[in-house]
Amino acid sequence: MSDNFETVTIPELSKKAGRGANWSRAEDQQLCLSFVAIATNVVIGKGQTCKSFWDRIKTDYNAKIGDNAVEERTSAAIISRWNTINPSVQKFTGCYETLLRSVQQSGSSPQDLVHNAYALYKTSTKNGAPFVLEHCWQI
């Protein structure tokens, strides 16, 4: 998921719409899987509107999430969650790749690299927030 995808704006919601339930790890993972499946579909390709792209992701996501769903997610909810996941995963990927390209100490393991990427991520955020989306990054 190291490709850079642009942030998408959410269509204006009616005033009756409230905040949905928190997303579970399984829902995050399925959202990422659905995004990758639709974004890399060579049959449809780039010849789709932004709305149809996100509608396809919503349809794929809701069809595959099954019993792991907290609730059925709307396109707006899916876009909103993606706009939270993607920047964080992109930032962590950048930290990881920076360390991967740097000279590693002999004897460092892949786990050391990930641990160091966590530390670099935390120091590179404004409020020192930790990276909490490894379950998405691994996809």
pLDDT at 124: 94
Q: Which amino acid is at 19?
A: R
pLDDT at residue 92 above 90? yes
Domain range annotation of the chain:
25-137
pLDDT at 105: 61
pLDDT at 9: 53
pLDDT at 94: 96
95: left (phi over 0), alpha (psi -120 to 50) or beta: alpha
pLDDT at residue 1 above 70? no
From the list 31, 33, 41, 43, the residue with the least C-alpha distance to 75 is 31
**Segment 30-51, tens digit of pLDDT:** 999 999 999 998 887 677 889 9
**Segment 99-131, tens digit of pLDDT:** 888 866 666 788 999 999 999 999 999 999 999
pLDDT at residue 3 above 90? no
52-64: average pLDDT: 95
pLDDT at 12: 44
pLDDT at residue 96 above 90? yes
Which single residue is written with the structure tokens 């930032």? Answer: 91
Instruction: Give 12's DSSP letter.
Output: P
Q: Tell me how many degrees the CA angle 32-44-2 measures, rounded to the nearest 5.
A: 35
